[in-house]
Amino acid sequence: MKDGLKEGLLNKVKVTDKFWHGYQELVMDTVIPYQEKILNDEIPGVEKSHALANFRIAAGLEEGEFYGMVFQDSDVAKWLEGVAYALEVRPDPELEERADKVIEIIEKAQQDDGYLNTFFTIKEPEHRWQNLQECHELYCAGHMMEAAAAYYEVTGKDRLLHVMERMAEHIEKRFGTEEGKEPGIP
């Protein structure tokens, strides 16, 4: 570990080029904090995202209805993945702590069978896995898996990785070419 971060391949490369380093700084200083505010519905005059509220509702931490698009969970996953890569470039204990709190909520939102998707947990639990082409369940799972791998690679923390391992096991039990499983293509 270096500065609380896992020593990995990602930190072997440093971008110092004026052009690209400027974009890295823009993402770390502006984009990630702005997106976090969007996910938390903290920007006046901007349509509510409700993405983190959906996870809190699915986790039983607050009351409410699902709001947003069926793929809303992927926005949280993409933010977490961005945070992971930003932490690789520039450690930020406060940002990491906020990400850890989001991961804790995600873990609490996961169903007993490993399933994780706020739209179907909150709004249509009876329709899980019924429309793979249009309902983004595997898409959201894939983005959250990417976030889990990135967060583990950078921080060494495996909480989200274990959540998504459980989701992968859930998917594997349901889909496949073996007898008793169904084919599934997103």
Query: 3-state class of 175 per DSSP?
Result: strand
Q: Quick one: which H or E segment has residue 155?
A: helix 137-155
pLDDT band at 11 (very low <50, low <70, confident <90, very high): low
pLDDT digits (tens, 9 = 90+) for 18-65: 999 999 999 999 999 999 999 999 999 999 999 999 999 999 999 999
DSSP string, 2-45: BTTB---SGGG-----HHHHHHHHHIIIIIHHHHHHHHTT-STT
Domain boundaries, the chain: 10-174
Average pLDDT over every residue of 102-106:
98
d(CA 106, CA 90): 25
Residue 170, phi then psi, degrees to nearest 5: -60, -45
Look at residue 5 and tell me whether its pLDDT is greater than 70. Answer: no
The pLDDT of residue 20 is 92
